[in-house]
Amino acid sequence: MSFYRFAKNLVWYLLKPLYRMEVIGKEHIPESGPVIICSNHISNFDPPIVGGAATRDIHFLAKEELFEKRWLNKLLTHLNVFPIKRGMKDRQALRHALNLLKDGKALGIFPEGTRSKTGELREGLSGIGFFALRSDAIVVPCVIMGPYKIGRKLKVVFGSPVEMTSLREQKASAKEATDKIMDELKHLLKTNS
């Protein structure tokens, strides 16, 4: 068993009972091939929650500041996390993410770019649209709902894949693709609240 799988299972089995976790829609995640899982962002626990709930190993992007400490850099690297400079203008990170998708891997992105302190969905950064348009990946929206309070229910919902073919054919802008994905996240939040 890889370190990633060991850590994923350990964290999931610790957090699941604490937050009375309910996971809906795992069947929307394809078993193989490139996939982008985009989720709202309400807590630092979101990556292990989404990673634990998902049926695939996920590669996450994270702000480069997290990689400054050597021990944390090493740990995050073993957990399939790679750094990106703020603002999604990091060509090396963008290339790495596209290569992962080209190799049929799963990429996890929090399109808001930072945590929402109110729990309300913020505007999405165009990076998610860039990845969706520049790859053949299936885009699966995901929402985390409920407070991160011990004993209170937390719900993780994976929605139906976002239809991207027409946007790719129209050569839509990254912003247009991002807006479509964010609309799906809003819809998921509304229909599951």
Cβ neighbors of 178 (< 8 A, separation 6 or more) are 111, 124, 125, 126, 127, 128, 129, 132
What sign for the dihedral angle of Cα 115, 8, 21, 101?
Answer: positive
For residues 158 and 29, the answer to whether their CB atoms sit within 8 Å is yes
What does the pLDDT look like over 51-88, one tens digit per residue?
999 999 999 998 888 899 999 999 999 999 998 887 55
Domain ranges within the chain, ordered by starting residue: 3-192
Question: How is domain 3-192 classified at the architecture level of CATH?
Answer: 3-Layer(aba) Sandwich (3.40)
What does the pLDDT look like over 149-175, one tens digit per residue?
999 999 999 999 999 999 999 999 999
Q: What is the pLDDT of residue 88?
A: 52
For residues 21 and 145, the answer to whether their CB atoms sit within 8 Å is no
For residues 95 and 102, the answer to whether their CB atoms sit within 8 Å is no
pTM: 0.93
What does the pLDDT look like over 129-140, one tens digit per residue?
999 999 999 999
Distance CA 49, CA 71 (A): 22
What does the pLDDT look like over 25-51, one tens digit per residue?
999 999 999 999 999 999 989 999 999
Q: What is the pLDDT of residue 85?
A: 82
